[in-house]
Structure 1
Amino acid sequence: MALKVTAEEMGPFLDEVFPQVRGMFGIDRLDEDLLVMRLFVKDEHLRPGGTVSGPSMFALADVAAYVATMARIGQEALAVTTNCSIDFMRKPEAGADLLAQCRVLKLGRALSVCDVQMFSEGGTEPVARASLTYSLPPRR
């Protein structure tokens, strides 16, 4: 499916609809096959023990699924998460950004189903895997 929103257009859209996450994420790749989204890991994302917190990893997975879905349906701010399941598999590398590789598995009229694998930058083994479903607003 051809994309309706480019990576360059997505940044300003996110800043407008979710100003609370401005500067937290970056898009490394966005095409028909894959979205690679980056969490710029800072002190506020860490938990005791010097690793990235679960809520920060959830935010990365959730925003990645949102962006991958928006890229396909257009800028529809009212799409909402209806389900998320995360498997935390290993401790992220301290001091490294987290990268999410997101694939849209199914895009229907009402739902978008995404798979997200998260890696420490430079790592080859996933630190977490998430499955997310988004409810889409009615199309005009």
Structure 2
Amino acid sequence: MALKIEAEEMAAFLEEVFPQVRGMFAIDRLDEELLVMRLLGDERHLRPGGTVSGPAMFSLADVAAYVATMARIGRQALTVTTHCSIDFMRKPAAGRDVLAEARVLKLGRSLSVTDVLLFSEGSPEPVAHASLTYAIPPAR
């Protein structure tokens, strides 16, 4: 499915509708096949022991699914998470960004289903896997 929003416009859209996450994420790749988004390493994302916290990784997965969906449906800020399941599989490497690889598995009129794998930058083994469903508001 062709994209309705490219990476640069998507970054500006996030700044506009979610200023609270300003400076937390960056889009590395956005095309019809895959979104690669990163959680920019920051002390505020660490838990005791110096590893990236579960809530920070959840945020990355959720924002990645939102961006992947928005890129395909256009600017519909009121699209919301209706389901998320996340499995934390490994401890992320200290001092590295966490990357999300998001693939939209199904896009319908009212729901979008996205699969997200999270990786420590430079590592081939995923640290977490998430499945998210977004509700798309009805066309007016």
Where 2:126 maps in the other structure, the secondary structure is coil
Inter-partner Cα distance in structure 2 for 1:43 and 1:23: 13
How many residues matched?
A: 140
1:97 partner letter: D
1:133 equivalent in structure 2: 133
1:102 equivalent in structure 2: 102
Aligned residue runs from structure 1 range 21-100, under 5 A: 21-100=21-100
- Normalised TM-score (structure 2): 0.99
CA-to-partner distance for each residue in 1:43-62, whole Å, 9 max, x for gaps?
Answer: 00000111100000000000
Mark the runs of 5 or more structure 2 residues left unpaired by the alignment: none
2:10 equivalent in structure 1: 10
Mark the runs of 5 or more structure 1 residues left unpaired by the alignment: none
How much has 1:36 moved relative to structure 2? 0.1
- Normalised TM-score (structure 1): 0.99
Inter-partner Cα distance in structure 2 for 1:139 and 1:86: 30
Inter-partner Cα distance in structure 1 for 2:51 and 2:23: 20
Where 1:115 maps in the other structure, the secondary structure is strand
1:92 partner letter: P
Inter-partner Cα distance in structure 2 for 1:81 and 1:57: 16
How much has 1:139 moved relative to structure 2? 2.1
Inter-partner Cα distance in structure 2 for 1:77 and 1:8: 17
2:68 partner letter: A
How much has 1:41 moved relative to structure 2? 1.5
Instruction: List structure 1 runs of 4+ shifted beyond 6 angstroms.
Output: none
Inter-partner Cα distance in structure 2 for 1:41 and 1:85: 23
